[in-house]
Structure 1
Amino acid sequence: MNWETVPWCECDSRSLAESQLKPGDIVFARTGATTGKSYLIKDCPPETVFASYLIRVRVRENVEPRYVSHFFQTTDYWSQITRGSRGAAQPGVNATTLKTLEIPVPPLPEQRRIAAILDQADVLRVMRRVALVDLDSLTQSIFIEMFGDPATNPKSWPYKSLIGLGNVVTGGTPPSSKPGMFEGPIPFVTPGDLESDESVKRSLTTEGAKESRTVRAGSTLVCCIGATIGKMGIARVQSAFNQQLNAVEWTGEIDDIYGYAALRFFKPTIRAWGASTTLPILKKSSFEKIEIPVPPVSLQREFAEKVKAAEKLRVAHKSSLAELDDLFVSLQNLAFKGGL
């Protein structure tokens, strides 16, 4: 919890006495998308109160707050919450629901032992997530180290427009009324697929691809219309894409990985150029005028090799995090069934 970002409010002494938070308190979301989610207050400023859309739970002295907080992450807890809100017009959590929860409560020393084990396992997950965040920003750091910031161009590389560095193409969507267009072997990329590790959700047949546009593997795809304008991705294989996207098939003067990384620095430009209308849109004629630095291809390829190595490390970290998440869930299930 970053207390510096939490809003302040006027609060009289009576309200403070009724709603004050202390270390060890657990707060729950009453309604909305986060209904039932909880947070353990480990530390807080001396005069901190909770909002009206939250519920505060303060456990007795013979109960370890960390133990209870871990229980509130388990499938058993969520099953009880779901049963308690079933049939309600708007599912929610209230004090009555929480009072009826059944929680296994071993002696206090055992609670603390279990909480310590789960805390340690959770620390490993947090560390892995921090490492992933660092790796996500590593490509940009490598780029700046090798080529400098494109905004200031400290190494005086020549600049060229996208239209001079590749084939710029706008996508299209096959008519849904025409049979045999979708669910084929060719990925059909839309804005929701960009900047994601997930597989492309939709696909086209060979006939459907003829009604769209396709680009080769390695091309850079950029959303140029709507709320997600500026999102980017790389085509992993030959792909079709819809009319919200422009693509750049780089020529021999630009390495695919370098071109994608360089263009990412121009997200603010794409958003700014497309913000002049109610619906943000950057026309192909404007998009292809964007200029990026063009260092020697040999240096671009050296950069690409470093990025590939970083990506392998990122994939390994992500796989490790998934394993740690599975291990943590298993430990939780064992812990609250007396198996630890």
Structure 2
Amino acid sequence: MSETRTVKLGDVCEQVEKVNPSNEFTNSFIYIDLSAVDNQKKIITGSKEISVNEAPSRARQLLKSGDVLVSTVRPNLNAVAIVPTELDNAIGSTGFSVLRADTQKIRNDYLFAWVNNPQFVQEMVKLATGASYPAVSDRIVKESLIPLPSLAEQQRIADKFRLERLIEQKRARQRELLSELEKSVFIEIFGNPFTNPKELPLIRLEEFGTLNRGVSKHRPRNAPELLGGKYPLIQTGDIANSDGLIRNYSSTYSEFGLSQSKIWPVGTLCITIAANIAKTGILTFEACFPDSIVGFSASPERVKYIQILFKFLQQEIEAFATQSAQKNINLKFLQGLMVPKPTEEMLIKFNRIMNKIFIK
């Protein structure tokens, strides 16, 4: 069997036309900006019709159905999607790298499967520049390498990826239902945290357990020697993509990486304070994490209580974060967050029920 060759993405993609919407459309057009892509579902959910007179300067890419969109901003979030038939001839932001498959060489569904591959994502993260607003260029995306098997093998890989996505969508729906069940049980035992009908005393979160920011004196993308060892490195995306229990990781620290970081124990509640705001996950293994994550340590009962409480508070905390110059919150904000303090008996009862219904 011949070895699969690798090629540059740009060598198997067609050129995408840059246009001025006012020259292409009479009154209005459909615009797809970076926020229109749901990075969890990998689909376009927020396209909008806008007047040609209101066209932003980034509205310049004339899209075709089947195009693969790759957000060049915050590549760790992997905001990618395929343009559906109903959005043919929409205008895309120049913040996307638009990959239009040369069908004589590559299938667009195989191309889509590849940009979802952790290998591609990790390469883009490594090549991103900008501390507060990491991004790659369209050139970097198109100069990256992709394995290019036969078209028949590409179809097999794409079909497998499609099946895996379908399974994951089913699991995601199960997680949504489980989350609603958790919140229902929470309200039954503790009451609605916004109205506090059981009149539980309010205390600062720092009084309920120990809060400390993650440690990473150097950023991995600026110091590759930090990576590649045996110590799991959890990042904000790993937490956002978990089901509440962190079972997987995409990066590791070397001995040098560990020396400038810290290992957190099993059972630590990880809370994101940058990019993905106020998302949580409980460590199921010892791991390191950077200062974009805060670790909350307490008894298992208190950790689970705070985790479900954050499901209620997440949107409000995120809304607060977007009011600042950068989308983040800080340790001081979390330390001073006022939370209802239940009795230990209530916590034990809640944890006992959670242990019965939570998928391990």
Q: Which of 67, 86, 91 does residue 31 from structure 1 map onto?
A: 67
Say which SS state the counterpart of residue 309 (structure 1) adopts. helix
TM-superposed deviation, 1:267: 1.3
1:278, 1:164 → 2: CA distance? 29
State the match for 2:194 in structure 1: 151
State the match for 1:44 in structure 2: none
In structure 2, relative to structure 1, the CA distance for the partners of 1:277 and 1:133 (3 Å cut) is closer
Structure 2 letter corresponding to 1:218? G
Q: Which has the larger share of strand?
A: 2
TM-superposed deviation, 1:132: 4.7
Instruction: Judge conservation of contact 2:68–2:82 (CA < 8 Å) in 1.
Output: yes
TM-superposed deviation, 1:190: 0.8
Instruction: Judge conservation of contact 1:170–1:245 (CA < 8 Å) in 2.
Output: yes
1:281, 1:179 → 2: CA distance? 25
State the match for 1:220 in structure 2: 269
State the match for 1:249 in structure 2: 297
Give aligned pairs, total: 221
Instruction: Judge conservation of contact 2:225–2:254 (CA < 8 Å) in 1.
Output: yes
Say which SS state the counterpart of residue 160 (structure 1) adopts. strand
State the match for 2:36 in structure 1: none
Q: Trace 1:1-340 onto structure 2 (pairs within 5 A).
A: 29-33=65-69, 35=82, 52-53=88-89, 84-86=103-105, 130-175=173-218, 176=220, 181-197=226-242, 199-205=248-254, 208-226=257-275, 228-250=276-298, 255-312=302-359
TM-superposed deviation, 1:244: 0.8
Q: Kindly report the root-mean-square deviation, in angstroms, between the aligned alpha carbons of the 2 structures.
A: 4.0
Instruction: Judge conservation of contact 2:65–2:88 (CA < 8 Å) in 1.
Output: no
Superimposed CA distance per residue, residues 265-297 of structure 1 (whole angstroms, 9 cap, x where no aligned partner) = 221342233233221221211221112222122
Instruction: Judge conservation of contact 1:258–1:301 (CA < 8 Å) in 2.
Output: no
Structure 1: where are the runs of 5+ without partners?
10-27, 39-49, 55-80, 93-122, 316-340
Superimposed CA distance per residue, residues 17-73 of structure 1 (whole angstroms, 9 cap, x where no aligned partner) = xxxxxxxxxxx93434455867xxxxxxxxxxx55449xxxxxxxxxxxxxxxxxxx
In structure 2, relative to structure 1, the CA distance for the partners of 1:82 and 1:162 (3 Å cut) is same
Structure 2 letter corresponding to 1:247? G
Instruction: Judge conservation of contact 1:215–1:238 (CA < 8 Å) in 2.
Output: yes
Superimposed CA distance per residue, residues 220-240 of structure 1 (whole angstroms, 9 cap, x where no aligned partner) = 2111123x2222211222221
Say which SS state the counterpart of residue 249 (structure 2) adopts. coil
Instruction: Judge conservation of contact 1:224–1:270 (CA < 8 Å) in 2.
Output: no
Instruction: Judge conservation of contact 1:159–1:293 (CA < 8 Å) in 2.
Output: yes
TM-superposed deviation, 1:161: 1.0
Structure 2: where are the runs of 5+ without partners?
1-45, 51-63, 70-80, 91-99, 112-165
Instruction: Judge conservation of contact 1:263–1:292 (CA < 8 Å) in 2.
Output: no
Superimposed CA distance per residue, residues 117-148 of structure 1 (whole angstroms, 9 cap, x where no aligned partner) = xxxxxx99998775553223221121112111
Looking at both structures, which has the greater relative contact order when contacts are Cα pairs under 8 Å and sequence separation is at least 6?
Answer: 1
State the match for 1:66 in structure 2: none
Query: How much identity, in percent, do the aligned residues show?
Result: 17
In structure 2, relative to structure 1, the CA distance for the partners of 1:305 and 1:195 (3 Å cut) is farther
1:136, 1:213 → 2: CA distance? 31
2:270, 2:103 → 1: CA distance? 46
2:213, 2:169 → 1: CA distance? 41
Say which SS state the counterpart of residue 256 (structure 1) adopts. helix
Say which SS state the counterpart of residue 216 (structure 1) adopts. coil
Compare CA radii of gyration and give the structure with the larger one: 1
Structure 2 letter corresponding to 1:212? S
1:36, 1:287 → 2: CA distance? 39
Deviation beyond 6 Å, 4+ runs, structure 1: 5-9, 123-129, 177-180
1:267, 1:250 → 2: CA distance? 20
Superimposed CA distance per residue, residues 178-205 of structure 1 (whole angstroms, 9 cap, x where no aligned partner) = 7864333332111110133461111224
Structure 2 letter corresponding to 1:267? Q
Structure 1 letter corresponding to 2:204? S
